[in-house]
Structure 1
Amino acid sequence: MKVLRVITSMNPKSGGPCQGIRNVNPFIKQLGTEVEVVCLDNAAEEYITKDDFIIHKIGKGKTSYQYQPLLYNWLIKNALNYDLVMVHGLWQHYNLVVYKAVNALKKSGKKAPKVVIMPHGMLDPYFQTAADRKWKALRNELVWFFIEKKCINQADAIFYTCQEELQLAATTFEGYSPKKAINVSYGIQPPPVRKPEFDTAFYKKCPELLHKEYWLFLSRIHEKKGVDLLIQAYSQLSVNNPALPELVIAGPNESAYGQEMIKMAAENSKIHFSGMLEGDEKWGAFYNCQAYLLPSHQENFGIAIVEALACEKAVLITDKVNIYREIEEGGGGLVSADTFNGVLGVLKKWEALSKTEQEEMGKNAFLLYQKHFDVKSAAEKLNKVLKSLI
């Protein structure tokens, strides 16, 4: 079986979906499925990763819609080499291009590949109801009516990373009627075994944290992630509380919002912005933190959350993270509302736990990872579903 994945970018800085592909590919390959990727990166663009699968780089798309007409010709020429095309994401030109190219191949009498779409949370109602997304929500309504609805409903299946995402997707747009909606789960590779080099790399990046306890936020610094709530709640909690662990906010912070958050936290010397952490730095941050925090307003899966679980770290998240039920039921973390009072409350609740209780929650976190988010199990499930569609 040969599968082509279609995605905007495979640059690791672009976020979770490309990392998800990298996580599962080695294991699905062992099951006899060959995977290639076509993306809208420039041919000369280099990644920090070393990938053992083929990546076809078509060239950057234009505008936020990622308009790239060269992809259609590439698909017409190459799509017949694959049994199935798997599209990652919505609201981008390549979804329409796949739809048109596959239909053109069918009309020519050729055996076109099956098509699967993986929305990665992009059908979550949050994106249509958030106060700061009114114009984008209107744009999505129009794109849904003219394009995405037919792409979704005529695809052979829609894949979701968890049951919560699958259920929420059915509530967002009128006319949503896919042929099949399947929870294929998601997983990450086990983290590397802890070694001294991780500590060295992290503390070289953040020397002010050496010999100090800290809480870790590691993600994109974006409005959706609730960073402002975290800074406000932490700042209030840290007043007259010198024993409170430090707070590390790790992620690219060059954006206007990132700079705004740095200014918001400027008066609190216990809040540290590390910038993006990669490789040994990242694993050093995970292994040395007391707990991982992500007070997101919407999170489809959260690879960093699961990485924290796999490092035996309890996670403090909101009920807008789609895997919160598994985490709550497994005792691997604490869950709150995505409000100031909710975030403040969950920080207080964590602080009130004894060291023994915190360590026990960390152990539960690792068991939770093994049960629900191990990439080998996820790859086996995905491979089985893919074969059933062909």
Structure 2
Amino acid sequence: MKILHIIRSCDPKAGGPIEGVTQLSKCYKELGHQLSVVTLDLDDADFVKNQTLFEVFALGSGKKSTYGYSKKLIPWLTLHCHEYDVIVINGIWQYHSFAAHRVLIKAKKPYYIFTHGMLDPWFKRAYPLKHLKKYLYWWWGEYPVLRDAKQVLFTCEEEKIQARESFWPYRCQEQVVSYGTAGCIGDQDLQKQLFLETYPQLQGKRYLLFLSRIHPKKGVDLLIEAFSKVYSAADDTILVIAGPDQVGMQSNLTQLAERLGVAEKIVWPGMLSGDLKWGAYLNADAFVLPSHQENFGIVVAEALSANVPVLISNKVNIWREIVEDNAGLVANDDLVGCESLLSQWQHIDDVAKDNMRVNARVCFKNRYEITKASSFLLGLFEG
């Protein structure tokens, strides 16, 4: 099959959606299928020019806009959409989904769409004015995209349920699909060594790892405050906060850490990838993600694959599976909940922690390993 994914950006800094596409492309290729990607990136972007896993058609206009308008997208899709057996739209609220719907309906070409958590009601509560603007757009812009899709794909049951609560009218063909990642690959001993050599201040230290975009919805401020309350100056545990600072939060967060007296106990590596990223996971005592909203959490699956227990909020939509498999701890996405996560972990004995590490890997293999996800999706597309 020839499969086309339409997505706002293939920049790795954009987070989980493009990582999911990347992982699926590897599996599709091994099974003899071809995946191509249309994006609204500029064609001279390094991450476009250096992409070797799949063909990228970058049609960006160069204008700085989160909406991502491009006059090239509709003509390109009109000319090429019939060349593909399957078309998947990734994400909503941006020009690529609106334009794709406009072309594909006219061409009578069926399509699937991943909402990637963008219908979560948390956004309605957190940004009420923005939600009102979205409501005006919903009627004529985004609702038809979902209504007319062959299937709207959700990465877990919780995401599907939550999506029903944000906008009205809401009618679509819902489908929960398997989703995941390839997990920890490579020489783990070398990866662990590389990370500690790169960040020697972590040698011989126990650390908690946050690895995700630094964004208001991720609860990083809660994490720093909870860390300051649970881990005293006498405790040598370190907090590693790794990820791209997309909205300029880090300076405020470092000031918060200074006010709370824990600035010396926090390491900020920035965005990690490849062996450095896996080394960060493999050396971690636990992974922490106190998000206010997370439709799936590729980084949670990655941590599980590296035998790392996950300490997450109950707004990470796969939290029920984590509890069921005893692969980590779950609490509310507030300061009390975040403190509870860290305090519980601090007081768990080593035997229980080791058992949870084993459970983490089993949870990953049974639920989130990418070959199962790709087989599920291919079966859906071929059905």
TM-score range, shorter chain: over 0.9
Between the aligned partners of 1:167 and 1:75, the Cα distance in structure 2 is: 32
Aligned to 1:52: 53
Given that 2:122 and 2:293 are in contact with CA atoms closer than 8 Å, whether structure 1 keeps it comes out as yes
Between the aligned partners of 1:60 and 1:230, the Cα distance in structure 2 is: 38
- Greater alpha carbon shift after TM alignment, 354-363 vs 194-203: 194-203
Instruction: Quote the offset at 1:137 in angstroms.
Output: 0.9
SS of 2:175's equivalent in the other structure is strand
Between the aligned partners of 1:23 and 1:196, the Cα distance in structure 2 is: 23
Structure 2 unaligned spans of 5+ = none
Between the aligned partners of 1:315 and 1:264, the Cα distance in structure 2 is: 24
Aligned to 2:192: 199
Between the aligned partners of 1:10 and 1:136, the Cα distance in structure 2 is: 25
Aligned to 1:3: 3
Aligned to 1:126: 122
Aligned AA for 1:152? L
TM-score scaled by structure 1? 0.93
Between the aligned partners of 1:192 and 1:321, the Cα distance in structure 2 is: 24
Between the aligned partners of 2:247 and 2:98, the Cα distance in structure 1 is: 30
Question: Does residue 1:159 correspond to 2:153, yes or no?
Answer: yes
TM-score scaled by structure 2? 0.95
Match of 2:289 among 276, 288, 294: 294
SS of 2:249's equivalent in the other structure is helix
Instruction: Quote the offset at 1:190 in angstroms.
Output: 3.0
Between the aligned partners of 2:130 and 2:62, the Cα distance in structure 1 is: 19
SS of 2:37's equivalent in the other structure is strand
Match of 1:81 among 83, 91, 94: 83
Aligned to 1:90: 92
Aligned to 1:230: 223
Between the aligned partners of 1:260 and 1:182, the Cα distance in structure 2 is: 40
Structure 1 unaligned spans of 5+ = 107-112
Given that 1:61 and 1:67 are in contact with CA atoms closer than 8 Å, whether structure 2 keeps it comes out as no
* Alignment size in residue pairs: 378
Alpha carbons of 1:384 and 1:224: their partners in 2 closer, same or farther (altered >3 Å)?
same
Aligned to 1:324: 319
User: What do residues 83-140 of structure 1 show as CA deviations (whole Å, max 9, x unaligned)?
Assistant: 221100000011111111123324xxxxxx311111000011111111xx12211121
Question: Does residue 1:114 correspond to 2:116, yes or no?
Answer: no
Aligned to 2:103: 101
Given that 2:304 and 2:361 are in contact with CA atoms closer than 8 Å, whether structure 1 keeps it comes out as yes
Aligned AA for 2:360? A
Match of 1:171 among 148, 165, 172: 165
- Greater alpha carbon shift after TM alignment, 91-100 vs 251-260: 251-260
Between the aligned partners of 1:385 and 1:289, the Cα distance in structure 2 is: 37
Alpha carbons of 1:255 and 1:118: their partners in 2 closer, same or farther (altered >3 Å)?
closer
Across the aligned residues of Structure 1 and Structure 2, the Cα RMSD in angstroms comes to 1.6
Instruction: Quote the offset at 1:239 in angstroms.
Output: 2.6
Between the aligned partners of 2:145 and 2:138, the Cα distance in structure 1 is: 9
Question: Does residue 1:140 correspond to 2:134, yes or no?
Answer: yes
Given that 2:215 and 2:246 are in contact with CA atoms closer than 8 Å, whether structure 1 keeps it comes out as no
Aligned AA for 2:95? H
Instruction: Quote the offset at 1:60 in angstroms.
Output: 4.0
SS of 1:274's equivalent in the other structure is coil
Given that 1:222 and 1:258 are in contact with CA atoms closer than 8 Å, whether structure 2 keeps it comes out as no
Between the aligned partners of 2:286 and 2:302, the Cα distance in structure 1 is: 12
Aligned to 1:252: 244
